Structure 1
Amino acid sequence: MSDNHNLFAALRAAFPADLDKPAIEVLDGPAAGSVYSWRDLDRATAMMANLIDSLALPPASRIAVQTEKSVEALVLYLAVLRAGHVFLPLNTAYQEAEIAYFIGNAEPAMVVCAPKNFTWVSRIAFSSGTAHVFTLGDDRTGSLLERAAHHGDQHTPAVRQADELAAILYTSGTTGRSKGAMLSHGNLLSNAQVLKSYWDWQPRDVLIHALPIFHVHGLFVASHGALLNGSTMLWLNKFEPKTVIAQFPRATVFMGVPTLYVRMLGEAALTKAQTAHMRLFISGSAPLLVETFDAWTERTGHVILERYGMSETVMLTSNPCRATDGARQRGTVGPALPGVGVRVVRDDGNACDTDEIGHIQVQGPNVFAGYWRMPEKTAEEFTTDASGGRWFKTGDVGKRAADGFITIVGRSKDLIISGGYNVYPAEIEGFINEMPGVAESAVVGVPHPDFGEGVIAVVVAKPGATLDAAAMVAKLKTQIANFKVPKHLFVVADLPRNAMGKVQKNLLRDQHKGLFA
């Protein structure tokens, strides 16, 4: 298989010699208690790949999938790779108008949806020229499994080159239309192999998989990690803090977004004794508050490993895993992963000094080729400097310390320019989050007649705490320059978030856009 760069072939080659060992154990949902062996995964992906082959789809067809999380949904992803087509996962929260855009833009040859959505999804798909629409439920029902059951359980993986498309991931689209990031077999495999080594995956490792699988974090980082290491996954369709904590004595690796760590810290069962068997806790997809980082260390004795990646690049940087590689640093996302280039530049493209805030740009075998059917947008998002090759402009703003550790300060689109001064929301949020009684905050800029943009803060109190907005603003005036101090501070019950736990600042900007009118 050495001349076949199909990602599935590499994952299949990593299956343990004993195919009857457990690969996935389901802990919740309709299939709770089910155990899938490695042989089950091999046979099920073969049957689904054979079904896909029988449809005689054009080469490298897009297969769009919007289903609830289940082992069968993961099997479908692997089967699409195995058959040599392009997997297009869609967030389960997307509604009709959004699905219509994605199907119209990607023109998939095949769509798989939840049985309850078949009526409206199939209407959109068929009217867009999609030939095949199947259903897949999280309870092992649906036409996809019914049809696949009639196919054989042997299948030779399609031959694919490293630069051929494996998946298209649509970005969350907080500004303008969602863009389809085109990821190749080589992008995904190179990143999975680097993480296997850098995160020191061990033969005994067991992963608790509690993330969605329509996103880089759950579908690629977590699933590929376990599959490439031949590790058992303890599978949760939905995150439930008590259930996860109860599984720590059986597991060694957990990956989560910051919200999951906050929710587990709210459980009395989270103790040093309960986490004693665990080897590694990883956090990503959104910034981890220093307070959460410290509270987790105090409660469990474990230091969370923070890392940084994007839909377009998979993982880029990571705090060290092995003690021999150095200590993990709170508030940072670590240095660049092996083989990945990360640089911080000024507006004019010149390199920033140590600890100077600038634009983060990246290159490496993990970086995507471009956006689906958006050549102008693709050209815009990459540099063209002849000397240093092609760098992807992440849109993130940050700084690099003397030791190479990267600190993310925010998104360039979140940068507030007030009265001609640059204001970085993350800096102000850091001061607000340290105040007594504050659970979290979000700082945004909204139109202002005098300053161009006015700084405002939206703050959530801890349970039982009462916050005094005026006193908080007065305190900030003693800590930061006046142009950075929020002109209004609102105390709210919670912040709007997307499915990966990221605060949706665009919604906050919309909500308050008329404040200074």
Structure 2
Amino acid sequence: MSIFFRRCNSNFVSTTNFAHPAHAKNALLYLENKSVKSYGDIDTLSGRYASLLNSKYAIHKGDRVLARVTKSEDSVALYLAVLRLGAIYVPVNPAYTPTETNHYVDDVQPKAFITLAHHKDIQFLPKITHILSESTLKTEALNTTPDFSIEPVSPTDIASICYTSGTTGLPKGAMITHGALTKGGECLTSLWQFRSRDVLLHALPFYHVHGMFLSLSCCLFSQSSAIWLPKFDLPKAIKYMNKASVMSGVPTFYSRLLDSKDFKPSAYQNIRLFISGSAPLTSAVWDKFYLKTGNCLISFYATHILF
């Protein structure tokens, strides 16, 4: 991808330069099943999803795609596929009830809804053109020729809509632009000094700003890797920690680590940076973590205002 093309296209998929052939063989995701997905693998899978969504389901620039999906290599590819089409990715918490989901459906008015609970979400079919099972879509994508093109967008075009937690009423959709994703990712990659040799321990949800835009973006902009865990599981987090150089989590992750007898120097000695976000970090947890590990927990709660 030429520098000229990158400057002319503000699509987040383009600005990350993640699909550049120079690092196509570099590892992007280390999965729990011990398989490894390279940047080239995810680029190809993303191209397959983009081609399928565009050719069969008529997803185009500006269309909204609701996604209640399992955290996997496919969720990363699907997210990038929607963005590379210039469409708008709207993540939904997989645990939401039909009533909670209905608010998203009515507010977003999506053209497609990709879901891990097709049997439950099929009820929204009168309101949505396409309600697609994530497993069926995956099978279709694997049999689709990839389209590697990236839809040109402006920095102010919307890339994703993420909803607030709804503590003061119904959740409200926050519109996040391609330019904001790029600036936020570049800023944090520089601030936290991510390099291609870094390995991020990622046990965060992939339907929230922290797990999607902050943590993953740092990997994409630095061409580094992530240990991609489906969720935070204490024994597994400790098991994989010594293979990582950065960990990003929420305060409860660190509280649970501190309460574990297995959280020993041999587990965390390779971590250069511990990051806490999504919720306030108490001074008690910060102090205890510092005394235990000698590492300062970096808290960036409310830093989502970058977007």
Aligned position for 1:155: 148
> Residue 40 of structure 2: SS of its match in structure 1?
helix
- 1:46 aligns with 47
Matching residue of 1:280 = 273
Cα displacement string for residues 295-329 of structure 1 (whole angstroms, at most 9, x for unaligned residues) = 1112212111111326xxx2x5xxxxxxxxxxxxx
Total equivalences in the alignment: 301
Identity %: 32
- Output the CA distance in 1 between the equivalents of 2:101 and 2:232: 25
Aligned to 1:225: 218
Retained in 2: the 8 A contact 1:257–1:285? yes
Deviations 1:227-285 (A, max 9, x none): 11111111100211221122222111000100000111122221234322111000111
Deviation digits for residues 435-482 of structure 1 (CA, Å, limit 9, x no counterpart): xxxxxxxxxxxxxxxxxxxxxxxxxxxxxxxxxxxxxxxxxxxxxxxx
- Pairing partner for 1:63 from 60, 65, 68: 65
Alignment partner, residue 269 of structure 1: 262
Q: Verify: 1:3 aligned to 2:8, yes or no.
A: yes
**Alpha-carbon contact 1:165-1:183 (below 8 Å) kept:** yes
In structure 1, C-alpha distance between the alignment counterparts of 2:43 and 2:19, rounded to whole Å: 12
C-alpha change, 1:16 and 1:192, in structure 2 (3 Å) is farther
The alpha carbon displacement at 1:37 in A equals 1.3
Contact 1:23–1:38 (CA under 8 A) maintained in structure 2: yes
What is the letter of the counterpart of residue 93 of structure 1?
A: A
Q: How far does residue 180 in structure 1 lie from its aligned partner after superposition?
A: 0.7
Aligned with 1:235 (options 208, 228, 234): 228
Pairs within 5 Å for 1:495-510: none
**Pair 1:10–1:58, CA change in 2 (3 A):** closer
Corresponding letter in the other structure for 1:222: S
Q: 2:130 aligns with which of 129, 132, 135?
A: 132
Partners of 1:83 and 1:259 lie apart in 2 by: 36
1:68 shift after superposition: 2.3
Deviations 1:466-514 (A, max 9, x none): xxxxxxxxxxxxxxxxxxxxxxxxxxxxxxxxxxxxxxxxxxxxxxxxx
| Cα distance in 2 between the residues matched to 1:102 and 1:262 | 32
In the other structure, the counterpart of 1:184 is 177
Say whether 1:109 aligns with 2:107.
no
Question: Per residue, is there more strand in 1 or in 2?
Answer: 1
In the aligned structure 2, how far is the partner of 1:38 from the partner of 1:203?
Answer: 12
1:357-394: CA deviations, max 9, x gaps? Answer: xxxxxxxxx44xxxxxxxxxxxxxxxxxxxxxxxxxxx
SS of equivalent to 1:91: coil
Deviations along 1:386-408, whole A, 9 cap, x unmatched?
A: xxxxxxxxxxxxxxxxxxxxxxx
In the TM superposition, what are the counterparts of 1:408-487 in structure 2 within 5 Å? none
Structure 1 segments of 4 or more deviating over 4 A? Answer: 13-16
Partner of 2:132, secondary structure, is strand
1:248 matched to 2:241: yes
* 8 Å CA contact 1:4, 1:159 repeated in 2: yes
Task: Name the SS of the counterpart of 1:197 in structure 2.
Answer: helix
Q: Normalising by the residue count of structure 2, what TM-score does the alignment of the two structures yield? A: 0.93
Which has the greater radius of gyration?
1
| 1:353 counterpart residue number | none
Structure 2 distance, partners of 1:96, 1:14, is: 37
Cα displacement string for residues 171-221 of structure 1 (whole angstroms, at most 9, x for unaligned residues): 111122221111100011101101111111123211011000100000111
Following TM superposition, by how much is the alpha carbon of 1:14 offset from its aligned partner in structure 2, in angstroms? Answer: 6.7
Partners of 2:19 and 2:40 within 8 A in 1: no
SS at match of 2:176: strand
SS at match of 1:12: coil
SS in 2 for 1:79: helix
Shift of 1:12: 3.5
* Structure with greater helix share of residues: 2
Asked if the contact 1:6/1:162 (under 8 Å) is kept, the reply is yes
Maintained 8 Å contact 2:50/2:146: no
Q: Deviations over 1:404-426 (max 9, x none)?
A: xxxxxxxxxxxxxxxxxxxxxxx
Q: Which has the higher contact order (CA 8 A, sep 6+)?
A: 2
Distance 2:41 2:254 in 1: 32
Name the Cα RMSD after superposition. 1.6
Aligned 8 A contact 1:14 1:229 in 2: no
Q: Secondary structure at the match of 1:60?
A: coil
1:202 and 1:56 map into 2 onto residues whose CA distance is 38
Q: Distance in 2 between matches of 1:112 and 1:267?
A: 38
In 2, the alpha carbon distance for the partners of 1:51 and 1:293 equals 47
Structure 2 unmatched runs, 5+? none
Cα distance in structure 1, aligned partners of 2:241 and 2:120: 41
Question: Following the alignment from structure 1 to structure 2, what is the Cα–Cα distance between the partners of residues 37 and 177?
Answer: 39
Q: Note the residue ranges of structure 1 that are not aligned, 5 or more in a row.
A: 137-141, 317-365, 368-517
TM-score, normalised to structure 1's length? 0.56
Residue 16 of structure 1 contacts residue 230 of structure 1 at CA under 8 Å; is this kept in 2?
A: no
Q: Which of 91, 94, 113 is equivalent to 1:92?
A: 94
Check conservation: 1:14, 1:227, Cα contact below 8 A.
no
The answer (yes or no) to whether the contact 1:51–1:148 under 8 Å persists in 2 is yes
> Structure 1 residues 9 and 259, CA, compared in 2 at 3 Å: closer, same or farther?
same
